[in-house]
């Protein structure tokens, strides 16, 4: 091939320099593949043999960013061979800016991945220390750190592009104040998430009641708490509302209460009523699944169509299936006791008396 072909210029740069820069980039890509092969065949197997898991996570976090570093190095060396001009267009300055951008993205990518390593460390620390920190603290920390990495990387990129960060922030002026005022609810929700972590009214997996919402907490985010209701719907409640409203944590109850009113018919005699009350008290006292210090059985009301017996007890189990099984068992035992005493459970009824007027009371013919 004629040597004059390589002397042709494009944008005042000989073709030979373009080919040389391309060759450097191809060599960098080859080194990248060799590096990836060595890491997968030697470094990772060696790390898997160690007792700790942190070296595995560390290598997994920086592996791809290190591979990209070979490409960035090839790009930098290739740019040096090109001898880019600075006039009339500052091509060298543009290439330097792209190089800084790539380095910033690569470093931010590595740090972004390393956040998972921090999360694993915090998780193991919480488990080993038997801390009462909530489970939702871990995803909260992960989100916070990753958002911080992205914001810092974006500011560094802006700074490297020649813009003054201080001037940019100062230029917001009244517009920034307007944005801050518009973001009041968002900031309130963020502070609400911190309050949830500090006060620990519930944890991920707890069943809570909030207003008309009842379900299991799935996630506590910066802005809202996500609750999976019992009909499998996902409800997002702003954190500021949760921190300002009473929340009932059903998971942390120590016992489950049962309070019922049993109505028997009005033909029940006082003796039968006393026997019924004593029989119910006896069967509750004999049940091992109840808190015996909190049982109440009393004849307490003359209802519209029944004589009412108040029955209250607490089951020691808080699991819903076991609680319902005990409640069913006691209900059937009460029915058996009333049947043995010859009593009937009343139902709403009304007695109508018809008055037949006498002859004397009948109107005159």
Whole-angstrom distance, CA of residue 352 vs CA of residue 286: 43
The pLDDT score that the predictor gives to residue 49 is 73
CA 325 to chain centre: 32
| Mean pLDDT of the 215-229 span | 86
| DSSP, res 290 | B
pTM of this structure = 0.51
pLDDT of 2 strictly over 60: no
Q: Is the pLDDT of residue 134 over 80?
A: no
* Mean pLDDT comparison of 134-138, 143-147, 230-234, 331-335, highest-scoring range: 331-335
Domain ranges of the chain: 7-181, 187-249, 256-340
Sign of the C-alpha dihedral computed for residues 181, 186, 190 and 195 taken in this order:
positive
Over the stretch 271-294, which tens digit does the pLDDT of each residue have?
999 999 999 999 999 999 999 998
DSSP letter assigned to residue 244: T
* Average pLDDT of the segment spanning 308-320: 92
- Read off the pLDDT band of 68 (50, 70, 90): confident
pLDDT in tens, 7-39: 566 556 666 677 777 787 888 888 888 877 777
Pick the CATH number of 187-249 from 2.30.29.30, 3.40.50.970, 3.30.2130.10, 2.30.30.60: 2.30.30.60
Selected residue with higher pLDDT from 353 and 315: 315
Largest distance between two CA atoms of the chain: 144
State the burial class of residue 343 (Cβ atoms within 10 Å of its Cβ: 0-12, 13-18, 19+).
buried
115 has a pLDDT exceeding 70: yes
* Res. 243: pLDDT tops 60: yes
pLDDT (average), residues 243-260: 88
Q: Is the dihedral of CA 192, 196, 201, 202 positive or negative?
A: positive
Work out the angle at residue 293's Cα, subtended by the Cα atoms of residues 290 and 294, and round it to the nearest 5 degrees.
75
For the chain, where are the alpha helices, taking DSSP H only?
3-6, 15-38, 44-48, 54-82, 91-129, 137-160, 165-182, 184-199, 239-243, 270-285, 320-340
Structure tokens at 276: 């019924």
User: How does the average pLDDT of the chain come out, rounded?
Assistant: 79
| Per-residue pLDDT tens digits for 144-198 | 778 888 888 887 777 777 666 666 555 555 455 455 555 566 667 777 777 777 7
Q: Is residue 119 over pLDDT 70?
A: yes
Fold of the domain built from segment(s) 256-340: Alpha-Beta Plaits (3.30.70)
Does position 320 have pLDDT exceeding 70, yes or no?
yes
User: Sign of the C-alpha dihedral, residues 119, 123, 129, 135?
Assistant: positive
Q: Write down the pLDDT at residue 163.
A: 67
How far apart (Å, rounded) are the C-alpha atoms in residues 329 and 327? 5
Mean pLDDT value of segment 253-266? 92
Is the link from the previous residue into 19 a cis peptide, with omega within 30 of 0?
no
């Amino acid at each position: 091939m004629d040597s004059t072909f390589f002397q042709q210029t494009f944008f005042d740069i000989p073709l030979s320099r373009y080919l040389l820069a391309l060759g450097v980039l191809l060599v960098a890509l080859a080194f990248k593949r060799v590096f990836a092969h060595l890491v997968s065949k030697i470094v990772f197997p060696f790390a898997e043999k160690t007792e700790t898991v942190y070296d595995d996570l560390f290598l997994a976090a920086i592996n791809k960013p290190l591979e990209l570093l070979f490409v960035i190095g090839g790009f930098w060396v290739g740019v040096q061979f090109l001898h880019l001009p600075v006039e009339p267009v500052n091509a060298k300055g543009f290439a330097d800016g792209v190089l800084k951008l790539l380095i910033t993205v690569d470093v931010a990518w590595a740090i972004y991945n390393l956040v998972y390593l921090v999360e694993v460390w915090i998780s193991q620390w919480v488990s080993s220390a038997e801390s009462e920190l909530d489970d939702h603290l871990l995803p909260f920390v992960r989100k916070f750190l990753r958002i911080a990495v992205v914001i810092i990387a974006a500011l560094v990129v802006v700074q490297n592009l020649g813009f003054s960060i201080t001037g940019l922030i100062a230029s917001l002026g009244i517009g920034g104040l307007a944005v801050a005022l518009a973001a009041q609810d968002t900031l309130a929700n963020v502070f609400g998430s911190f309050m949830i972590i500090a006060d620990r009214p519930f944890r991920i997996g707890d069943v809570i009641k909030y207003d008309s919402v009842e379900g299991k907490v799935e996630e506590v985010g910066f802005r809202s708490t996500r609750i999976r209701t019992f009909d499998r719907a996902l409800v997002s409640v702003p954190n500021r509302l949760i921190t300002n409203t009473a929340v009932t944590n059903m998971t942390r109850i120590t016992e489950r209460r049962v309070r019922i009113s049993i109505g028997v018919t009005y033909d029940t005699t006082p003796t039968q009523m006393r026997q019924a009350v004593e029989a119910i008290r006896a069967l509750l006292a004999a049940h091992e699944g109840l808190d015996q210090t909190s049982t109440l059985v009393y004849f307490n009301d003359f209802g519209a169509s029944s004589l009412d017996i108040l029955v209250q007890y607490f089951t020691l189990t808080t699991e819903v299936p076991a609680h319902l099984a005990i409640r069913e068992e006691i209900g059937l035992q009460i029915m058996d006791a009333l049947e043995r005493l010859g009593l009937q459970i009343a139902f709403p009824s009304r007695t109508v008396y018809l008055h037949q007027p006498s002859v004397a009371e009948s109107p005159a013919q």
